[in-house]
Chain A
Amino acid sequence: MTDNELLTLIDRYFDAETTLEEERMLRRELATTLSTDPRVAEAGAVLAYVSEAGPRQAIIHHSYRRWRVAASAVATVVLALGIWFSADTLSSGSDCSSYIACNRCSDPDVAIALMNAQLNDISEASDVVTDAVLSDLSAITEAFNEFEY
């Protein structure tokens, strides 16, 4: 049996897909193989343990690999939910903070006052721009009307 065939058989063993004959073949191969692949050594240790523990332990071990996969999937889902909820928490909570001249201020009233001051400045500039646009349009309209026939 080649190394790849052996590894495939080991994977099938851990997926509980091997027949009794295949398990016997696997034990014979593990006893005689020269492979240094860690998966081969792991399988050898497991089968040795299983053979000592008896048939009942073998059944328990066969489902071990599936539990590892399931545990990985659950961990991934938990991590995903954790990231989702943490992102959602940022918007559901209330937080006001400000930094003024290198000093952090956690007083929400200060933050709100700064916000209002900034919006007020923006508002004034917006009015200036709007007035400029209206003025330009008015000038164009006036010039256009001079050319009316």
Chain B
Amino acid sequence: MKPQRFFVLMLALLLALSAMASSPLRSTRLFDGHYRSNPNASETIVTGKSLKQYDLDIYQGLTITDAPAEADVIEKCVSYDSRTAVDREVSYRDGRLYYVFLAMPPEGNRNRYVFYLNQHLAGGNKIILIYMSGKADSDKIKSIIKK
């Protein structure tokens, strides 16, 4: 085999393995910058030592205020991800998703969690989507929430 072909083949194999290693969730796609130009939205990204105490690697949070229509897209993404969740807590109100906690299939030794809340269904004005990933187990995550 020519060296050039060998190199290209190895590069393609490497990229394929990288793609296989990560299985992005539909919910996490919403953190790709889509809402950064939305005046009703605030997006938070926290990584590294700030999360060490929680045994987490990454925290991504999205809050959309006074925009109930935005729940349509987010709810669809969360519903899609819930199909493959290994653990879930789901609450509906008026036929819509009100509160969701999902524990997703881990990637290697990293657990992944999704929270969703539509306060518009309970008299509030926020839609919240949170994604967390790290070594923390479900009990740890729930203790973080309950603190």
Binary flags per residue of B26-61, CB closer than 8 Å to A gives 1, else 0:
000000000111111111111111100000011101
Binary flags per residue of A95-139, CB closer than 8 Å to B gives 1, else 0:
111111110100010011011011101110110110010000000
Give residues 61-104 of A contacting B (CB, 8 Å). Answer: 65, 68-69, 71-73, 75-76, 79-80, 83, 90-102, 104
Binary flags per residue of B59-86, CB closer than 8 Å to A gives 1, else 0:
1010100000000000000000000000
Number of A interface residues in the complex (CB < 8 A): 41
Verify A91–B46 contact, CB threshold 8 A. Answer: no
Q: Which of B57, B61, B98, B115 has the most CB of A within 10 A?
A: B61
Verify B42–A72 contact, CB threshold 8 A. Answer: no
B3, CB-defined interface residue at 8 Å = yes
Determine the distance from Cα of A79 to Cα of B18 in the docked complex, in whole angstroms. 12
Verify B10–A76 contact, CB threshold 8 A. Answer: yes
With known contacts A68-B3, A121-B117, A114–B49 Cβ distance under 8 A: no
Chain B residues packing against A (C-beta within 8 Å): 3-4, 6-7, 10-11, 14, 18, 35-50, 57-59, 61, 63, 89, 91, 98-99, 101, 115, 117, 119, 122, 126, 128, 130, 142, 144-147
10 closest Cβ pairs, A-B complex: A94-B48, A72-B7, A76-B10, A68-B3, A114-B44, A118-B61, A99-B36, A72-B3, A99-B43, A91-B57
